[in-house]
């Protein structure tokens, strides 16, 4: 295998595995910047995956090859609606954020499989016929060398995710809305004193996390698993949560951490095809991403600091 071919294989599979983590970890960043801990990302991704597959199976005949992109929208919508449960529980009903997030995680796979059984009569769906697959980005793909590595036969959702990461960074750190969102996550009382609507801002943080988490789940379902069952989303949400903390509650950081996780996961998958890694026992490739994460975390990052009022309910004095 030529060096070019090897590099492009690693890069494209890295992007495929990173894309869902990028979307979801940025979603988590919005929620936690607003002060709502979101352990429920896993469940939100599960509902997004469920919605996108049902949508995809239902409309693939009419929408053709554009189906997965519309499936993404379906996942986003259902993810957003589902996240309202978390928002209502934590913001309005003052529930413990961890408890509410755990409820989301317990509820999603149960509800998803229950509905699949009601709809299709069995616990998992048939494979979808239109998935994301690999596409070339017109124009950019014709750049010599770089175009071939990064933009030809690449993952469309991953590039969308990278765009969303930059956009989110801009929103959180450079806009009025972002400043307000961060202020309710750091000191809700001060924000309230200045006339900001703490509840509304926290609701919007959680809902954005629902939207992006739903997209993340839809990407997993339509580019990796290609069907929906109880095992479509197993742990990706927790990985995304780790990427969010690793990225220090910053969208660009979350992007970097997600790409790192994606790279190590893809090495475990495509490693057998690469001459250098062929001789390494598969178990080392399997656990490498997780061991590396711990090492990097311990030696290079150390203390991580969450937004100050993250996980603290704001109870307005009557």
Partner 1 sequence: MTTQKNSFSVALFSVIFGLIIGAVIMLVFGYNPILGYVALLGSAFGSMQDIGSVLTQMTPLILTALGFTVAQTAGFFNIGLSGQALAGWVGSIWYALTFPSMPVYFMIPSAIILGTGLGALAGAIPGWLRAQFGASEVIVTIMMNYILLFLGNNILQNTMSKGIKVSAETTKQVGANASLQMKWLTELTQGSSISSGIFISLIMIVVVWFVMTRTTLGFEIRAVGLNSDAAKYAGMSAKRNAVIAMAISGGLAGLAGTIEGLGNYLNFFTQNGSPSIGFDGMAVALLGSSSYLGILAAAAIFSVLKIGGLGMPMSSGVPFELVDIVTASIIFFVGASYLIKLIQVRIKAMDDKAATNAAAKKELKASQLEDKNQKGGE
Q: Considering only the stretches 49-57, 58-66, 142-150, 298-306, report the one whose residues sit in contact with partner 1 under the rule CB under 8 A.
A: 298-306
**Those residues with Cβ within 8 angstroms of residue 30's Cβ, 6 or more apart along the chain or in another chain:** 168, 172, 181, 205, 208, 209, 212
The answer to whether the beta carbons of residues 87 and 153 sit under 8 Å apart is no
Cα separation, 51 vs 217, whole angstroms: 9
| CA 125 – CA 291 distance, rounded (Å) | 34
- Candidates 62, 195, 302, 317; binder of partner 1 (CB under 8 A) is 302
Q: Which of 1, 94, 27, 98 is nearest to 255 (CA)?
A: 27
Return the ∠ at Cα 83 (arms to 163 and 221), rounded to 5°.
60
By CB under 8 A, tell whether 87 contacts partner 1: no
* Residue 272 lies near partner 1 (rule: CB under 8 A): no
What phi, psi does 147 have (nearest 5°)? -60, -40
Euclidean distance between CA atoms 183 and 30, whole angstroms:
12
Comparing CB distances to partner 1, the nearer of 66 and 99 is: 99
DSSP summary character for residue 91: I
Note whether 23 binds partner 1 by CB under 8 A: no
- In the complex with partner 1, the residue whose CB is nearer, 20 or 311, is 311
Least distance in angstroms from the C-beta of 240 to partner 1? 10
317 interacts with partner 1 by CB under 8 A = no
The Cα 115–Cα 137 span in angstroms is 36
Shortest distance, CB of residue 315 to partner 1, whole angstroms? 9
Binding of residue 221 to partner 1 (CB under 8 A): no
The reply on whether position 224 binds partner 1 by CB under 8 A is no
Out of 1, 4, 167, 234, the residue judged to bind partner 1 by CB under 8 A: 234
The answer to the question of residue 263 lying near partner 1 (CB under 8 A) is no
- How many residues sit in the footprint of partner 1 (CB under 8 A)? 47
Q: Does 84 bind partner 1 (CB under 8 A)?
A: no
Residue 135's φ and ψ, nearest 5 degrees, are -135, 160
Tell whether residue 106 is a contact of partner 1 (CB under 8 A). Answer: yes
Q: Which residues contact 188 (CB under 8 A, 6 or more apart)?
A: 35, 198, 309, 312, 314
For residue 131 the two structure tokens come to 């998935």
From the list 115, 88, 81, 126, the residue with the least C-alpha distance to 221 is 126
- How many whole angstroms from its chain centre is CA 292? 20
- Residues contacting residue 6 through CB under 8 Å, at least 6 positions apart: 274
- Kindly state the smallest distance separating residue 301's Cβ from partner 1, in Å: 8
Out of 159, 238, 273, 314, which residue is the one contacting partner 1 (CB under 8 A)?
Answer: 238
Decide if residue 105 touches partner 1 (CB under 8 A): yes
Give the H or E element holding residue 140. none
Q: Is 294 in the site for partner 1 (CB under 8 A)?
A: yes
Q: How far is the CB of 298 from partner 1 (least distance, A)?
A: 5
User: What binding mask, one character per residue, do residues 243-262 give for partner 1 by CB under 8 A, x or -?
Assistant: --xx----------------
Cβ at position 173, least distance to partner 1 in Å: 22
Residues 114-133 that bind partner 1 (CB under 8 A): 114, 117-118
Any contact of residue 316 with partner 1 (CB under 8 A)?
no
| CA dist., res. 183 & res. 148, Å (int) | 43
Residues lying near partner 1 in the complex (CB under 8 A):
85, 89, 93-100, 102-103, 105-107, 109-111, 113-114, 117-118, 231, 234-235, 238-239, 241-242, 245-246, 283, 286-287, 289-291, 293-294, 297-299, 301-304, 311
């Amino acid at each position: 295998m030529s060096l070019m071919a090897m590099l492009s294989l690693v890069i494209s599979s890295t992007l495929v595995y990173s894309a869902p983590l990028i979307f979801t970890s940025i979603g988590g960043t919005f929620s936690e910047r607003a002060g709502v801990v979101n352990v429920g990302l896993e469940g939100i991704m599960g509902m997004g995956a469920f919605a996108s597959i049902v949508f995809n199976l239902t409309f693939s005949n009419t929408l053709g090859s554009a189906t997965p992109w519309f499936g993404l929208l379906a996942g986003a919508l259902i993810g957003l609606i589902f996240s309202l449960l978390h928002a209502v529980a934590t913001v309005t009903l003052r529930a413990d954020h961890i408890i509410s997030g755990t409820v989301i995680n317990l509820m999603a796979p149960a509800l998803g499989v229950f509905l699949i059984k009601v709809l299709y009569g069995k616990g998992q769906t048939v494979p979808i016929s239109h998935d994301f697959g690999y596409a070339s980005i017109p124009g950019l793909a014709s750049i010599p060398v770089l175009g071939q590595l990064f933009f030809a036969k690449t993952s469309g959702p991953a590039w969308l995710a990278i765009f969303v990461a930059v956009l989110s960074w801009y929103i959180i750190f450079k806009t009025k809305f972002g400043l307000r969102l961060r202020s309710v996550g750091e000191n809700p009382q001060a924000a309230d004193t200045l006339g900001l609507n703490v509840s509304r801002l926290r609701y919007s943080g959680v809902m954005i996390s629902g939207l992006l988490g739903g997209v993340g789940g839809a990407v997993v379902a339509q580019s990796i698993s290609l069907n929906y069952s109880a095992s479509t989303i197993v742990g990706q949400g927790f990985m995304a949560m780790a990427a969010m903390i690793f990225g220090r509650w910053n969208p660009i950081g979350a992007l970097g951490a997600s790409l790192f996780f994606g790279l190590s996961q893809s090495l475990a998958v495509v490693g057998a095809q690469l001459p250098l890694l062929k001789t390494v026992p598969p178990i080392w490739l399997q656990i490498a991403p997780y061991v590396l994460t711990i090492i990097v975390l311990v030696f290079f990052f150390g203390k991580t600091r969450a937004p100050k009022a993250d996980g603290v309910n704001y109870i307005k004095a009557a």
